[in-house]
Amino acid sequence: MLGLGAERLRADMNRLLALLFHQGVLDEQFLQLQQLQDATSPNFVSEVVNIYFNESEKLLRNLRGLLLDREFSDYKKMGIHLNQFMGSSSSIGAKRVRNVCVAFRAASEQNNRPGCLRGLELLEHEYCYLKNKLHELFHLEQQRLLAAGVRYPMQN
């Protein structure tokens, strides 16, 4: 009975991952991260992703702050933040977030304020979606481990 729980959870995880790939939210770099996770580094993916979340939220705050200033928007600084955001997103396989950064950066290079505002809106939306889905994925994984763990009681 408990074994079934673990298997079902694994199926749920795979289904979620497949969906995220299909939607283009994640790309193969995420799989690469999973390959780097093993017994010696069992939480690698969630560790990297949590660092990514922290960095991203800082960058989003900065971008928001730069755009709030109606008098002068430091487009150059925006570009720097976006480059960072693009880089880290690509490193974890966050394809859609990265693509939105590219469009946002193009607007900033043209000093296009409405374009940047739209870019920020899109970016925040994509980032939120990604974060929710990855949290869901990690939650499923945790539950799966618990379910699988109970199936194998402690040996002496």
Partner 1 sequence: MARNGVFSRRKRSEKIEEFDDVLPSFDSQEVHVLAVDDSLVDRKVIERLLKITSCKVTAVDSGRRALQFLGLDEETSSVGFDGLKVDLIITDYCMPGMTGYELLKKIKGSTTFREIPVVIMSSENVLARIDRCLEEGAEDFIVKPVKLSDVERLKNYMFGEDGMKSEDRRRINKRKSRESLDLSSSSSPLQSQSSDLSSTPSPPSVSSPSSPQSISSSPIHSPTPCSPTLLGSPTRRLKMTNCD
Under rule CB under 8 A, residue 119 binds partner 1: no
**How many chain residues touch partner 1 (CB under 8 A)?**
23
Q: Is 93 one of the binding residues for partner 1 (CB under 8 A)?
A: yes
Residue 87 within binding range of partner 1, rule CB under 8 A: yes
Q: Which is nearer to partner 1, 41 or 132 (CB)?
A: 41
The answer to whether residue 86 forms part of the interface with partner 1 (CB under 8 A) is: yes
Q: Does 47 bind partner 1 (CB under 8 A)?
A: yes
Q: Is 33 in the site for partner 1 (CB under 8 A)?
A: yes
SS (H, E, C) the chain: CHHHHHHHHHHHHHHHHHHHHHCCCECHHHHHHHHCCECCECCHHHHHHHHHHHHHHHHHHHHHHHHHCCCCCCHHHHHHHHHHHHHHHHHHCEHHHHHHHHHHHHHHHCCCHHHHHHHHHHHHHHHHHHHHHHHHHHHHHHHHHHHHHHHCCCCC
Find the part of the chain contacting partner 1 (CB under 8 A) among 14-22, 46-54, 127-135, 144-152.
46-54
Q: Does 24 bind partner 1 (CB under 8 A)?
A: no
CB 45 → partner 1: shortest distance, Å? 10
Residue 52 interacts with partner 1 (CB under 8 A): yes or no: yes
